Amino acid sequence: MTTAADGYFDESGNWIPGSFADQLDLPGPQETDPAAAAAAQAALTGTKKQSAQTLAQINAGKAKVKTLEAQLKGKSLTPAAKKRITAQLSAAKTQVSARTAARHNLLGTQAQQQNKVYEVSGQYEKLLAGDQRDAYAALRSLFDQYGLGSLAGKIYEFAKNGYGADVISLMLQDTKEYKERFAGNDARVKAGMGVLTPAEYLATEQAYRQILSSAGLPKGFYDNPADFQNWISGDVSPTEVKSRVDLAVQNSMQANPAAKAALEQLYGIDESHVMAYYLDEKKALPLLTKQSQAAAFGAEALKRGLSLNLTNLEDFVTAGLSLNQVSSGFQQVAEALPNIQAIAARWGETFGQSELEQDLVGGVETGGLGTTRRKRLASQERGLFGGYGGSTPAGLSAGFQAT
């Protein structure tokens, strides 16, 4: 039974081993809370409406004051009328003053609520002015490129408190989000390697991404920062990644059925695991190259109905044999094996495929381990049939002439 620790299949059907699955979930651009934004906007709208109503009342009150002041200037006013109008004027002025103060408070509330709308919707640039706004805008753009839009709030707070862009940039490097985004650098420091600048880090990721995309790998498979972290940690160059990708494609997308079968029999790698296996930074590239060649050689054996011997195949790789040499050698093995086994059986011996491979495929390059015994058995067979006019049945002697 496969567990999450072992790995899993992604949406495209690719096998992802556990070593790649256990990665950081990096923060993406800041996400706003629609409910909070709607509530903030509703509160702002209500205050604006109330402020407008208060302003209308203030204007109406001022007009009333003006009217009452004009009435007081009338020459025919009785003392009682003058007293009444004076009282009304005083009350109107008091009301205008109170409503003006109320509107002043409403405008303050409105400003706070407007800022709240900007905050919950991530429009921090509208909360700043001058150098502070410039510093915020520059850093927000830069950190968005890093995939760290979630730091917008912290950039705003630092800018609002008067820090310059250079200082803010250094302060942001101490945040959890920044360290997670460039986590490969921590491992590099522990391993005694130099730290990559953000520009170098991003350029390396982009080089990886371009290599994988050009190879036709499906979207979502090894194309995000968490996938690249281990490669960067291990100082795996884009050139090496390309070599790994080429091996992966060669042994999966482009491999013939016999090569895929050989890979599974030799190393236990079935088709669904091939891509991840060759992209695993924990496996050395020379080893992967050797295994790939051994599987290609094994395919030549399987095509001819032969079994696979891992040691022999890897020896053929180490000896520097070409695919044509190995193919020709396995063809000879397939043709000669039944005959030499029949001859050996007549003399009470056994002669296995592995020994014949070392002779006919490896030959002098691997010591020709089966040559001496094969020649001896062939010589004994010729001696056995020598009494019959020197002729040797073709079915028993084919492929075993003295060399």
Question: Is residue 246, in this structure, part of any structural domain at all?
Answer: no
Tell me which of 102, 121, 140 is where a domain ends: 121
Provide mean pLDDT across the span 144-158: 87
CA atoms 271, 303, 373, 324: torsion sign:
negative
Tell me which of 143, 159, 181 is where a domain ends: 181
Give pLDDT, residue 379.
Answer: 79
Give pLDDT, residue 127.
Answer: 81
Q: What is the mean pLDDT of the chain?
A: 81
In the predicted model, is pLDDT for residue 41 greater than 80? Answer: yes
Confidence of residue 349 (pLDDT cuts 50, 70, 90): confident
In the predicted model, is pLDDT for residue 15 greater than 50? Answer: no
Question: Is residue 276, in this structure, part of any structural domain at all?
Answer: no
Whole-number Å distance between alpha carbons of 180 and 224: 13
Residue that is written with structure tokens 């296996």 in the block:
277
Tens of pLDDT, residues 322-348 = 999 999 999 999 998 898 888 888 888
In the predicted model, is pLDDT for residue 283 greater than 80? Answer: no
Are residues 63 and 81 located together in one domain of the fold? Answer: yes
Q: Which of 77-86, 246-255, 306-315, 371-380 has the lowest mean pLDDT?
A: 371-380
Are residues 116 and 137 located together in one domain of the fold? Answer: no
Listing DSSP states for 100-146 in one string gives HHHHHHHHHHHHHHHHHHHHHTT-GGGG--HHHHHHHHHHHHHHHHT
Burial class (CB in 10 A: 0-12, 13-18, 19+), 49: exposed
Are residues 67 and 148 located together in one domain of the fold? Answer: no
Whole-number Å distance between alpha carbons of 401 and 403: 6
Whole-number Å distance between alpha carbons of 326 and 323: 5
Give pLDDT, residue 227.
Answer: 75
Confidence of residue 65 (pLDDT cuts 50, 70, 90): very high
Are residues 114 and 147 located together in one domain of the fold? Answer: no
Give pLDDT, residue 150.
Answer: 83
Are residues 172 and 103 located together in one domain of the fold? Answer: no
Question: Is residue 171, in this structure, part of any structural domain at all?
Answer: yes
Q: What's the Cα-to-Cα distance from 82 to each of 2, 44, 76, 390, rounded to whole Å?
A: 98, 44, 10, 157
In the predicted model, is pLDDT for residue 216 greater than 90? Answer: no
Are residues 78 and 165 located together in one domain of the fold? Answer: no
The total number of structural domains in the chain stands at: 3
Burial class (CB in 10 A: 0-12, 13-18, 19+), 238: middle
In the predicted model, is pLDDT for residue 239 greater than 90? Answer: yes
In the predicted model, is pLDDT for residue 180 greater than 70? Answer: yes
Tens of pLDDT, residues 199-212 = 899 899 989 988 88
Provide mean pLDDT across the span 379-396: 54
Are residues 82 and 137 located together in one domain of the fold? Answer: no
Long-range contacts, 33-38 (Cβ 8 Å, 24+): 33/120, 36/120, 37/117, 37/120, 37/121
Question: Is residue 175, in this structure, part of any structural domain at all?
Answer: yes
Question: Is residue 274, in this structure, part of any structural domain at all?
Answer: no
Question: Is residue 363, in this structure, part of any structural domain at all?
Answer: yes
The answer to whether the CB of 335 falls within 8 A of the CB of 308 is no
Domain of residue 397 covers 305-403
Are residues 139 and 114 located together in one domain of the fold? Answer: no
Question: Is residue 75, in this structure, part of any structural domain at all?
Answer: yes
Half-sphere exposure for 241 (CA within 13 Å, toward CB)? 25
Provide mean pLDDT across the span 24-40: 63
Residue 351 — left, alpha, or beta (φ > 0 → left; ψ -120 to 50 → alpha)?
beta
Whole-number Å distance between alpha carbons of 243 and 279: 9
In the predicted model, is pLDDT for residue 380 greater than 50? Answer: yes
In the predicted model, is pLDDT for residue 164 greater than 80? Answer: yes
Q: Residue 71 contacts by C-beta under 8 Å, 6 or more apart in sequence?
A: 77, 85
Tell me which of 121, 138, 158 is where a domain ends: 121
Question: Is residue 26, in this structure, part of any structural domain at all?
Answer: no
Whole-number Å distance between alpha carbons of 208 and 245: 10
Are residues 115 and 139 located together in one domain of the fold? Answer: no
Are residues 154 and 80 located together in one domain of the fold? Answer: no
Confidence of residue 400 (pLDDT cuts 50, 70, 90): very low
Are residues 355 and 402 located together in one domain of the fold? Answer: yes
Give pLDDT, residue 249.
Answer: 84
Are residues 41 and 116 located together in one domain of the fold? Answer: yes
Confidence of residue 218 (pLDDT cuts 50, 70, 90): low
